Amino acid sequence: MQSKLVGVLGGVGPMATVYFEQMVLELTEASCDQEHLNMLVYNHAAIPDRTAFLLGESKRSPLFDMAQDAQMLARAGCDFLVLPCNTAHFFHEHIQNAVSIPLLNIIEETVKVCAARGARRIGVLATAGTVVTDTYGLVSRRFGLESVYPDAATQKQVMAVIYDRIKAGKPVRAKEMAALYARMREDDCDAIVLGCTELSVAHRDLELQAAHPDVVDSLETLARRTIEYAGKKLRAG
């Protein structure tokens, strides 16, 4: 079977896009180049900041760029699209409406993984843009789950990690990430969602996966779903 060409609506942010591609490659069962997926990736860094728009701090909407990018990728021959950014999923329906090929939904896929693990109360670590639009809450309720967000002080720390460190190319310490996870556990969360792909980058760089099995990484979840949807095999283990 010919595998499907995946179009990646990227650049939101640029490093998370590259990590997404790397995860897809690492999670694919392949012993040579040709067994990997074909991906057409628009790492469009110039797209206006999503959270600044959603918080009303900027009038520049990222929607039109993303809808145009989706159309360009569809015209170029992509069979389906993915958008490795949680915050931008506030616009999911609008981008989906701009094209006739499917756009996978990172929020839905992540909530489904939490549900399959038997979670009931999800602690969502995400940008202020995702929090204010309650993107996870809307989807969680459809699956009978509850989504909660950090208190204001913790949310400020989450934003500092995302914007002042990862997006600025500066290091994050494992202790800082672990403190965020601990805070959500204190709030009785039985699953912690990395609901911002920049946090996925830090989690992975610091190799925190084994020590925090209750953490569900939205970027990894989307990578796995992308491989399956493209018709390729997931690497065992």
- Characterize the bridge pairing of strands 191-194 and 146-148: unpaired
The region of 40-48, 103-111, 143-151, 213-221 touching its own copies under the rule CB under 8 A is 40-48
- Characterize the bridge pairing of strands 6-10 and 146-148: unpaired
Least Cβ distance, residue 8 to its own copies (angstroms) = 8
Q: At 46, phi and psi to the nearest 5? A: -75, -5
String of b and e for 75-87 (b: at least 16 CB within 10 Å)? eeebbbbbbbbbb
Question: Which is it for the CA torsion 67, 140, 24, 175, positive or negative?
Answer: positive
Count of chain residues binding its own copies (CB under 8 A): 40
Residues classed as catalytic: 85, 196
Per CB under 8 A, the list member of 38, 58, 71, 157 interacting with its own copies is 38
Q: By C-beta, is 21 or 109 nearer to its own copies?
A: 21
Q: Does 46 bind its own copies (CB under 8 A)?
A: yes
Tell me whether residue 23 is exposed, middle or buried, using C-beta atoms within 10 angstroms of its C-beta: 0 to 12, 13 to 18, 19 or more.
buried
Q: By C-beta, is 17 or 133 nearer to its own copies?
A: 17
Per CB under 8 A, the list member of 118, 144, 169, 171 interacting with its own copies is 169
- 52 Cβ contact partners less than 8 Å away, ≥ 6 residues apart: 58, 60, 129
Give how far Cα 168 sits from Cα of 11, 54, 154, 160, Å. Answer: 14, 20, 20, 10
Q: Does 174 bind its own copies (CB under 8 A)?
A: no
Per CB under 8 A, the list member of 4, 9, 21, 181 interacting with its own copies is 21
Least Cβ distance, residue 99 to its own copies (angstroms) = 15
Q: By C-beta, is 77 or 102 nearer to its own copies?
A: 77
Q: Does 101 bind its own copies (CB under 8 A)?
A: no
- 170 Cβ contact partners less than 8 Å away, ≥ 6 residues apart: 164
Q: Does 34 bind its own copies (CB under 8 A)?
A: yes
The region of 25-33, 90-98, 105-113, 145-153 touching its own copies under the rule CB under 8 A is 25-33
Q: Does 57 bind its own copies (CB under 8 A)?
A: no
The gap between the terminal CA atoms of the chain, to the nearest Å, is 24
Interface with its own copies (CB under 8 A): 3, 11-15, 17-18, 21-22, 25-26, 30-49, 72, 76-77, 163, 167-169, 235
